[in-house]
Amino acid sequence: MGSLQLKSVRKSFGPVDVLKGIDLDVKDGEFVIFVGPSGCGKSTLLRIIAGLEDATSGNILIDGAEVSAVPPAKRGIAMVFQSYALYPHLSVKDNMGLGLKQAGTPKAQIEERTKKASAMLSLEKYLDRRPAELSGGQRQRVAIGRAIVREPKLFLFDEPLSNLDAALRVNTRLEIARLHRELKATMIYVTHDQVEAMTLADKIVVLDGGVIQQVGSPMELYNRPANLFVAGFIGSPAMNFIDAARLGRSDAATIGIRPEHMSLSREAGEWRGTIVHVEHLGADTIVYLDSEKTGLLTARLFGEHHYEADEIVYATPNSGQLHRFNANGEAIL
């Protein structure tokens, strides 16, 4: 239980096409992440799957059944929102139980499921509190608990970590990963943060301009980006793009090299340049240099390195790790 198919789903708001034909297959138990810059249509797509928004055309199938005309509560989904969206006047327990109560589930069963979910999320101590008496992280756990008790076919997450601070974000990320392992449920997760995408997903769907740019596992996207957009979006710092003509190459229009796939040397190398700025992060050192041949380059070196601004250095790309793109921005494999 818990597969999802999207068949040429389109959405327009008046004259604006937000989604331009989305086809996607999500298998049972998969953790799929929609990632893309803001305004790419990823949240709209999630809301269409949830039934909060109607698709202009196309089909949505959950477990093989068409659900376009089914109201959100009957689709067998549960959703976790960025702003938690807890009912302010209900206790934690009632927040979690409301959906089941509306569906007419017997009281004992609600009780049992609430207990199980709150144990999973270590919320037992807070069951009688109101949302206002909880911290941000606890609130988000309640929101996740509210999704769990429904035992849905599909979990939908709409940027659930965006409102949390950095430390809490890591913890909650681990928690979500653990829940996915324990529940073996199908999860669809929207984020603009590629770190969340890379760390959680079985499968990443990169969206831009209302079109799926690439679907694949995190490492597939990292190692074999299908086009310039995916190459630039996945990986941090972003991939360096160099006009192939400046390098004198005719087999591609653009050459891409990731900052971590370059080495620097003071003595000799392929591209001579001046260091513009150095960022020391401890675990790695990020060097920005301006090269006559390639323009601005970013290099990521592991560990501590003592470079300073205005030094002359030579950058050399690792030969096997160059990416080539044609004039349309598509990868040449």
Choose among 160, 165, 163: nearest CA to 175.
160
Is 77 a binding residue for other proteins by CB under 8 A? The answer is yes
Size of the site for other proteins (CB under 8 A): 26
Give the dihedral of Cα atoms 314, 316, 322, 325; nearest 10 deg: 20
How far separated are the first and last CA of the chain, in Å rounded? 37
Contact 160, 176 (CB under 8 A): yes
**76 lines the binding site for other proteins (CB under 8 A):** no
User: Distance between CA 148 and CA 130 in Å, rounded?
Assistant: 19
Q: Which of 15, 64, 71, 106 binds other proteins (CB under 8 A)?
A: 71
- Please pick, from the candidates 103, 309, 312, 332, the single residue that binds other proteins as defined by CB under 8 A: 103
Which of 135, 31, 43 is closest to 84 using CA atoms? 135
Question: Which window, 50-58, 168-176, 217-225, 281-289, contacts other proteins (CB under 8 A)?
Answer: 50-58
Q: Which is nearer to other proteins, 151 or 220 (CB)?
A: 151
Member of 82, 172, 191, 294 binding other proteins (CB under 8 A): 82
Please say which residue, 154 or 289, places its beta carbon nearer to other proteins.
154
Give the full edge-to-edge strand order of the sheet including 77-80. Answer: 77-80, 154-158, 186-191, 31-35, 203-208, 211-216
Look up residue 197 and give its amino acid: A
Among 102, 250, 319, 328, binds other proteins (CB under 8 A): 102
Q: Is 177 in the site for other proteins (CB under 8 A)?
A: no
Q: In the complex with other proteins, which residue's Cβ is closer, 103 or 119?
A: 103
Find the shortest distance in angstroms from Cβ 156 to other proteins: 9
Taking contact as CB under 8 A, which single stretch among the options 96-104, 120-128, 186-194, 273-281 is the one that binds other proteins?
A: 96-104
Q: What CA–CA distance (Å, rounded) separates 153 from 4?
A: 9
**Under rule CB under 8 A, which residues in 142-161 are in contact with other proteins?**
146, 158
163 binds other proteins (CB under 8 A): no
When the beta carbons of 33 and 77 are compared against other proteins, the nearer one is 77
Of residues 61, 70, 85, 276, which one binds other proteins by CB under 8 A?
85
**Residue 59 C-beta: closest distance to other proteins, Å:** 21
CA distance linking residue 161 with residue 54, whole number of Å: 26
Applying the rule CB under 8 A, the residues between 216 and 235 that interact with other proteins are none
Report the candidate in 276, 287, 282 with the shortest Cα–Cα distance to residue 315: 287
Which 106-135 positions form the footprint of other proteins (CB under 8 A)?
none
Round to whole Å and give the CA distance between 159 and 189.
Answer: 7
* CA distances to 99, 210, 319 from 10, in Å: 29, 9, 42
Q: Are strands 312-317 and 271-280 parallel, antiparallel or unpaired?
A: antiparallel
β 77-80/254-257 pair status: unpaired
Nearer to other proteins, 85 or 322 (CB): 85
**Residues engaged in binding other proteins (CB under 8 A):** 47, 50-52, 71-74, 77-79, 81-89, 98-99, 102-103, 146, 158
